[in-house]
Amino acid sequence: MTTHSPSGYRRELVRALAHGFAPAGLHATEDGGVVRAVLVSPDGDVRIESVAARDGAVPTIVDRAPAMAWDEREAFDQYGVRFSGHEPLRALARHDGELSRWTVPVRGDGPYQVAVGPIHAGVIESGHFRFHVVGDRILHVDVRLFYKHRGLERAAAGRSLRDALAVVSRSCAACAVANGVAYAQACEEALGDAATQELARARTILLELERGWNHLNDIAAVCAGVGLAAGFTRFAGLCERMRRLNAALTGHRFLFGTVEVGRSVLELDAATANAARAELREVGAEARSAWRELQFNASFQDRLPDIGVVDAAAVSRLGTVGPAARAAGVRADLRSASPGLAYEGFEPVVPERAEGDVQARLEQRGLELRQTLEVLDGLLGRALRPARAEPAGNGGPIGVGRVESPRGATLCVVERSDERLDRVRLRTGSYANWPSVAHAAIDNLLPDFPLINKSFELCYACADR
Amino acid sequence: MLTLLRDLRRLRRELALPGPDRGRSLAVRHVDAGSCNGCEHELTLLSSPYYDLQRFGLGVVASPRHADLLLVTGPVTTRMHEPLLAAYAAMPEPRLVAALGDCALGCGILGADEEIVGPVESVLRVDVRIAGCPPAPAAIAEALLSLVDERAAAPAARR
């Protein structure tokens, strides 16, 4: 990996994008001296292109890769790097500026602003939405997050690679396993280690247990979004069952502390694994029955189609990931190419009516829930033993981990000096998808925004870190 | 729809949840002051049929204007400091504050010093402490119901 000159950096990125590489993330080093862009080919090959800042600036790539917009804004706010050509470079993480520093100006006949948050009317994470509307119609939304920014990446730096995992995975409870595995894989790549089959199986079980309760939660959230209390209660009950199962298997309802760098200590004897399998089959049967009821509830179904559309073209432009991308017919799922995990033969699914609207995103959760339960059924057929990663190569100063979280592709980049963590960047599926929520809201009615937002059900914590 | 409701009734019957024996209610305003989203996910499940806290008159309300209790999660980030104080200031008296979860109590994995103001009690007087990372729904339910009982037993002690 070389550090390019500013013009060389831009040339390399433009060439890679032309060869089908997709932008996966961008971050600045702690001193703001170097910017690294991560790109991924359709086959999963990862490229890191680095550039040294000249007079505190590097060239932008946002004109060719709009998906990097938040990354560049964050790098400026947090690490002081300017991006030449990214004009205006609006504030993302900094909250101390005027309204005009972070909102898009909306002019014309009668637009006005509706400010919502950071505190919301319910049990919802903190974040601010500034809607520009005419009547009830949304022209534009400025999403202002980072209210929950805890500086976890900086708090993790300086610790040993192993100890830092607890800090990194505390970014988000809903994606604790996905973030933890992405971090562990990045460390292992940097250390030159690879997961053994049993380690891959342990992590895959944990990832799918996490996805299971998340998808049940997300279906319940859409029911709540249209005020269908019976549907919400039903799926929330199933979500509770899966959290109880998590606690029974690992001692923690959110599976905290189960992922480690270089090893897994999780042990399940055959009887426990079998009992878990039986419980998951029951959850699956109950979920199918409740799902059928949702299908035949006309007043519920009427609310879902053609609302909050993110189509395939928007997916590729905005870098949308996960269920939201698949709901638009884009068959991209990191699980189909995850060498360190146990997803042999996994095929991504998309809904028949892949319109990228609220209905398709809900449908997608239903399809994926079934898949998740099938994967778990296959993996829990026998006892699980503690396992370690094995030396597989030389490693290097930088490692990259990529994991399909319940909300989509999560990228973790780790920079190290020996056993010490210098810099970690966690770019979660939620972070990738927040701009898509803003896009989905355009031209919709303001009262539909909560439903649109619920159909993505992104974490604020994951984005803010 | 009928099947959904029938299933719910069956689940309720199987769980045999006790009915309310309390004559009071508690209106709760939730503020996320920088949590990892764990406390929020557990709070959400208090509405699931396994706990159904609303049957005891406990509800999350949409405005601090009609809240008895401010339920705060997270380590209080610099950016949530002001909104948290604004929510508290908007509450009618007597008002109570609960710190939910280890971060709010200042003992979790919190983050970088420059981004964190400090535990909830460094900002507001805390009446109820609910420990856990995150506290399970049963623990949250127990703490909130004890509060309702205490208030019923000693109305004079209310602030």
| Residue A172 backbone phi and psi in degrees, to 5 | -160, 130
Contact predicate B88/A272, CB 8 Å: no
Beta strands in A60-192 (DSSP E): 82-84, 112-116, 128-134, 137-144
| Residue of chain A whose Cα is closest to the Cα of B88 | A119
Return d(Cα A202, Cα A208) in angstroms, integer: 10
Contacts of B66 (CB under 8 A, 6+ apart): B27, B92
Classify A392 in phi/psi space as left (phi over 0), alpha (psi -120 to 50) or beta. Answer: alpha
* Partner-chain contact B110 A155, CB within 8 Å: yes
Count helices and strands in chain B by DSSP H and E runs: 4, 5
Is the minimum CB–CB distance between A462 and chain B shorter than 8 Å? yes
Q: Is A9 helix (H, G, I), strand (E, B) or coil?
A: helix
pLDDT, tens digit (0-9, with 9 covering 90-100), for B87-131: 999 999 899 999 999 999 998 778 889 999 999 999 999 999 999
Instruction: Tell me the CA distances in angstroms from A96 to A75, A116, A151, one per residue in order.
Output: 16, 18, 17
Return d(Cα A339, Cα A176) in angstroms, integer: 20
Is the minimum CB–CB distance between B4 and chain A shorter than 8 Å? yes
- CB < 8 Å from A in window 61-120 of B: 62-63, 74-75, 77, 79-80, 83, 87, 108-112, 114-116
**Chain B interface, mutation test: which of A95, A126, A128, most B Cβ atoms within 10 Å?**
A126
Q: Is the dihedral of CA A27, A28, A34, A35 positive or negative?
A: positive
- Encoded tokens for A319: 């870098």
* Partner-chain contact A126 B34, CB within 8 Å: yes
Residue with tokens 């998740």: A372
Is the minimum CB–CB distance between A1 and chain B shorter than 8 Å? no
Is the minimum CB–CB distance between A148 and chain B shorter than 8 Å? yes
Helix (H) or strand (E) holding B56: none
**How far apart are the two ends of chain B, measured CA to CA in Å?**
45
| Residues of chain A where predicted confidence (pLDDT) is lower than 70 | 1
CA proximity to A456, closest of A315, A335, A289: A315
- Encoded tokens for A382: 């026998």
pLDDT, tens digit (0-9, with 9 covering 90-100), for B7-59: 877 887 788 777 666 667 899 999 999 999 999 999 999 999 999 988 888 88
* Closest Cβ opposite residue B11 in set A148, A154, A237: A237
pLDDT score at A32: 84
Per CB-CB distance under 8 Å, the chain A contacts of B75 are: 150
Residues shown for chain A: 465
CA proximity to A204, closest of A344, A347, A325: A344
pLDDT score at B109: 77
* Closest Cβ opposite residue B38 in set A118, A119, A173: A173
Q: Is A249 helix (H, G, I), strand (E, B) or coil?
A: helix
Model-wide pTM > 0.90: yes
Q: How confident is the model at residue B159 (pLDDT cuts 50, 70, 90)?
A: very low
**How open is the CA angle B30-B34-B39, to the nearest 5 degrees?**
55
- Encoded tokens for A418: 């020996």
Classify B119 in phi/psi space as left (phi over 0), alpha (psi -120 to 50) or beta. Answer: beta
Return d(Cα A176, Cα A172) in angstroms, integer: 6
Is the minimum CB–CB distance between B43 and chain A shorter than 8 Å? yes
| Residue A264 backbone phi and psi in degrees, to 5 | -135, 135
CA proximity to A209, closest of A55, A376, A443: A376
Sequential DSSP letters for A395-443 = --SEEEEEEEETTEEEEEEEEEETTEEEEEEEE-HHHHHHHHHHHHHTT
pLDDT score at B21: 64
**What is the mean predicted confidence (pLDDT) over B71-92?**
96
pLDDT, tens digit (0-9, with 9 covering 90-100), for A50-73: 999 999 999 999 999 999 999 999
